Amino acid sequence: VVKPHISLIVAAMAPELGIGANGKLPWRLKQEIKYFRDVTSHSGEGSINAVIMGRKTWESIPAKFRPLPNRLNVILSHSHTNEYRDGVLFYNSMDSILDAFQRDNYKFQKQDINKIFIIGGAQIYNAFVTDPRVDSLLLTNITFTGEASETPVMDTFLRWNLDEWKRLDSSRLKNLVGVEFTEGLIEEGAYEYEYTLWERK
Ligand code: NDP
């Protein structure tokens, strides 16, 4: 039995690794949204990917866009009881959901779980970046290129030590995600960004 690959996937702005402002994303990057959707949705025949998120990130998704389609959505809250309701899995701990997924023969509506993506927010990213069950980081590395006075103000940051990780090249990222994406720097409005993949040293 092959265990599903587990990644943290996040878009963060250098140098502080800012990821949020007022409970929302600090930017709107159309191509990045498409990358996130394509990468997290792409799975083999007869299988589905899971996206695991904290309760606040779930609440930050407009009601009409959730659950995220074509993915098994898992919402973590300490006050949840573990159950499937309204098309999503509510769970009260990362351990209980990962244990469930890694149990032999776990199926969701007759499908295997292909990959597991942990999609935020800060509390979840910061608590699980050091968890050995996490195989890789899918980091969209953003830089603001506009007027300094217009730099987005953020209140939520990754506390990640990337010294413990090594960046892999783009061919490894392609292999992992299995979808087309732009390699190298992308310019969109007052931002530049690049899709990167990291594994533990
Ligand atoms: P989170 O989305 O991490 O949610 C936090 C909540 O999740 C907690 O209050 C708790 O819910 C629950 N939770 C956290 N850890 C666990 C656990 N181990 N077991 C069970 N439940 C748990 O909130 P943050 O405020 O940290 O992050 C939200 C911000 O991040 C927003 O600004 C959002 O836009 C941003 N974001 C940015 C992304 C990016 O790529 N740039 C991606 C995703 C989010 P409860 O209180 O109910 O117990």
- Written as one string, the DSSP assignment of 33-52 is HHHHHHHHH---TTEEEEEE
pLDDT tens, position by position, 84-104:
999 999 999 999 999 999 998
* Mean pLDDT of the residues in the chain: 97
pLDDT at 147: 97
pLDDT at 96: 97
**Separation of CA 152 and ligand 1 centre (Å):** 20
pLDDT tens, position by position, 125-148:
999 999 999 999 999 999 999 999
**Separation of CA 198 and ligand 1 centre (Å):** 22
**76, 81, 193: which to mutate for ligand 1, most atoms within 8 A of CB?**
76
pLDDT at 162: 97
**Separation of CA 147 and ligand 1 centre (Å):** 30
pLDDT at 133: 97
Is the CB of residue 3 below 6 angstroms from any atom belonging to ligand 1? no
Is the CB of residue 98 below 6 angstroms from any atom belonging to ligand 1? no
- Listed as own residue / partner, the contacts of 68-74 with beta carbons closer than 8 Å and 24 or more positions apart are 68/37, 68/40, 69/41, 70/41, 71/40, 71/41, 71/117, 72/48, 72/108, 72/113, 74/50
Is the CB of residue 81 below 6 angstroms from any atom belonging to ligand 1? no
Rounded mean pLDDT, 171-176: 98
DSSP type of residue 108? B
pLDDT at 1: 65
Is the CB of residue 97 below 6 angstroms from any atom belonging to ligand 1? no
pLDDT at 44: 86
The count of other CB atoms within 10 Å of the CB of residue 175 is 10
Is the CB of residue 77 below 6 angstroms from any atom belonging to ligand 1? yes
- pLDDT grade for 30, boundaries at 50, 70 and 90: very high
pTM for this entry: 0.98
- pLDDT grade for 2, boundaries at 50, 70 and 90: confident
pLDDT tens, position by position, 34-68:
999 999 999 989 999 999 999 999 999 999 999 99
Is the CB of residue 4 below 6 angstroms from any atom belonging to ligand 1? no
